[in-house]
Amino acid sequence: MAGYENFISTTDSTKALETVASEDPDIILLDVMMPKVDGLEILERIRSDEERKHIPIVILTASNDQPTKQEALELGATDFLAKPVDPSDLSPRVRNALLTKAHHDQTKVYAKTLEHEVRQRTEALAQSRLEMIHSLGRAAEYRDNETGQHVVRVGRYVGLIARELGLDEAMVELLEHASPLHDVGKIGIPDAILLKPGKLTPEEFETMQKHCQLGRKVFHRLSDDEQHQYLGHAELGAKIMGDAGSPLLEMASCIALSHHEKWDGSGYPLALAGEDIPIEGRITAVADVFDALSSKRPYKPAFSREKCIAIMEEGRGKHFDPNILDVFFSNTQEIVKIQIAHADLD
């Protein structure tokens, strides 16, 4: 038909189905009375296809065939043409149907473009939040570790353990991003205690232990009165507090509070024992202690992997969950890869 490049007009039902299946026609003129498969069945098949149900379909039928028209409408016919077809009637009806399809196509393209842009901006926002969270973790770690790579390695170790434990990937990702914040409460510990090269006094150790509760407070919402006062300072405060209840920060809060609990109940601050300790805390405890032992500190050299394992084995069933300890040390090659990729470089 002149003026239309992608136009199907056929009375052969087999050809109609084959053409629609292999192409994306702009419009279909469909005769109800067709050999092999009638036009209404073809109409129904096309309308049930998510990829092609938007194609305008003009039905050719006898002008007095009201039941057929009613059925065609219910199946999604776009328009009707009475047989025999009047060319002067055909052209405007086809044109109107094509205009409708063009509008549909433009809307579809716009929706896809908008979806792509929203996805890009959402990913960018999520990435910026992760960078901010990791920066917060490194800020705390820089106070007693100049490179700040400790928190990165802990996150990788935690992800390794969680994945090997069979946790779902969403949980693994959450743990990997939240665990670097385990020691954020160090921000509230005085330098004289945090950086002391020698053994802490009982009073100093009690202060040091408070970094768990301080870390938890960092991620918890303020009270209504505190929030009102805080938000009065700047709009930025409102944006920060708006995300205080996110799953990531809730996870970070739990890890900050529980990563110094011990399997036998001798840890702090809540003296939890066994599986009462949240699994995120048990996983982070193994990752954190291993990295502390295997890294150089002002008060000690970096221990060999063999010595780290020996020391931690002494804590099996006391400090550490035995199952998590086994899972971690059964992945020696991955541990070494993480150590190399995120080594402390002076």
The pLDDT value given to residue 152: 85
Cβ neighbours of residue 237 closer than 8 Å, sequence gap 6 or more = 230, 231
Q: What tens digit of pLDDT does each residue of 1-49 get?
A: 444 445 555 555 556 566 665 566 788 877 777 666 677 888 888 888 8
Decide if pLDDT at 241 tops 70. Answer: no
Q: Which of the two residues, 315 and 243, has the higher pLDDT score?
A: 315
Flag the least confident range among 48-57, 84-93, 166-175, 208-217: 208-217
Q: How far apart are CA 242 and CA 237, in angstroms?
A: 8
Kindly tell me if the per-residue pLDDT of 245 is higher than 70.
no
Range in 22-31, 56-65, 138-147, 271-280 with the lowest mean pLDDT: 138-147
For residue 246, what pLDDT band results from cuts at 50, 70 and 90?
A: confident
pLDDT (average), residues 159-180:
93
Percentage of the chain exceeding pLDDT 70: 67
Query: Minimal CA–CA distance to 281: which of 161, 145, 132?
Result: 161
| Domains of the chain with CATH codes | 7-114 (3.40.50.2300), 142-341 (1.10.3210.10)
Average pLDDT over residues 67-73: 82
Task: Report the pLDDT value the prediction gives residue 54, as an integer from 0 to 100.
Answer: 82
- pLDDT band with cut points at 50, 70 and 90 for residue 304: very high
- Higher pLDDT, residue 264 or 213: 264
Residue 214, pLDDT score:
57
Is the whole model's pTM more than 0.75, yes or no? no
The answer, yes or no, to whether residue 326 has pLDDT greater than 70, is yes
Across 102-114, average pLDDT: 82
**Amino acid 226: pLDDT:** 44
Q: How far from 309 is each of 266, 285, 331, CA to CA, in Å? A: 21, 14, 12
Say which range, 181-195, 283-297, 312-326, has the weakest mean pLDDT: 181-195
30 - beta bridge partners?
10, 59
Mean pLDDT (the chain) is 77
Residue pair 220/253 in contact (Cβ under 8 Å)? The answer is yes
Confidence of residue 333 (pLDDT cuts 50, 70, 90): very high
Q: Is the pLDDT of residue 346 over 80?
A: no
Higher pLDDT among residues 1 and 122, named by residue: 122
**Out of 184-188, 238-242, 283-287, 330-334, least confident range:** 238-242
According to the model, what pLDDT value does residue 69 have? 80
Helix axes 169-178, 87-141, angle to 10 degrees: 40
Q: Give yes or no for a contact between 179 and 280, defined as CB atoms under 8 angstroms apart.
A: yes
User: Contact, 144 vs 195, CB < 8 A?
Assistant: yes
Give me the numbers of helices (H) and strands (E) for the chain, helices first please.
16, 4
